[in-house]
Amino acid sequence: MMQLNGEQKVCNVGGVKFGGQPGEYPCVCVSSIFQKGDKVFGGGKRKDGFDEKMAGDLLRNQDKLTEQLGVPGMADIVANNGEEFKTFIDFVVSVSDMPFCVDAWQMKPKLEGAAYCAEKGLLDRMFYNSLTIWEQDLETEIREIADIGVKHVLLVVFDQEDQMPSGRVKSTQGVLELIDKVGAKFESIFVDTSVMNGPATAFCGLANKMIKEKWGFPTASAPSNGSYMDLKRYKEMMDFKGWSATDAALEGLAAFWYHDMIFSGPMVGASRILPAVAEAEAFLATSVFGETKKLPVDKNHPLYKLFPDFVEQLKTL
pTM: 0.96
Flag whether 4 is in a domain: no
Q: Would 1 be classed as within a structural domain? A: no
Q: Pairing mode, if any, of strands 100-103 and 73-78? A: parallel
In a domain, 250, yes or no: yes
Residue 43 covered by a domain: yes
What is the residue range of 87's domain? 25-126+138-148+218-314
CATH of the domain at 39: 3.20.20
User: Strand, coil or helix: what is 159?
Assistant: coil
Does residue 276 belong to any structural domain of this protein? yes
Quick one: how many helices (H) and strands (E) in the chain? 12, 10
What's the sign of the alpha-carbon dihedral 299, 68, 101, 26? positive
The reply to whether 79 falls in a domain is yes
In a domain, 232, yes or no: yes
How many degrees, rounded to 5, is the angle at CA 160 between CA 158 and CA 164? 70
What pLDDT, in 10s, does the model give residues 220-272?
999 999 998 888 888 788 888 889 999 999 999 999 999 999 999 999 999 99
pLDDT in tens, 130-180: 999 999 999 999 999 999 999 999 999 999 999 999 999 999 999 999 999
> Is 269 part of a structural domain of the chain?
yes
The answer to whether 259 and 277 have CB atoms below 8 angstroms apart is: no
Q: Using N-to-C axis directions, what is the helix angle for 240-256 and 270-292, rounded to 10°? A: 30
- Which pLDDT does position 90 carry in this prediction? 98
* Inter-residue contact 277 to 29 (CB < 8 Å): yes
Domain count, the chain: 1
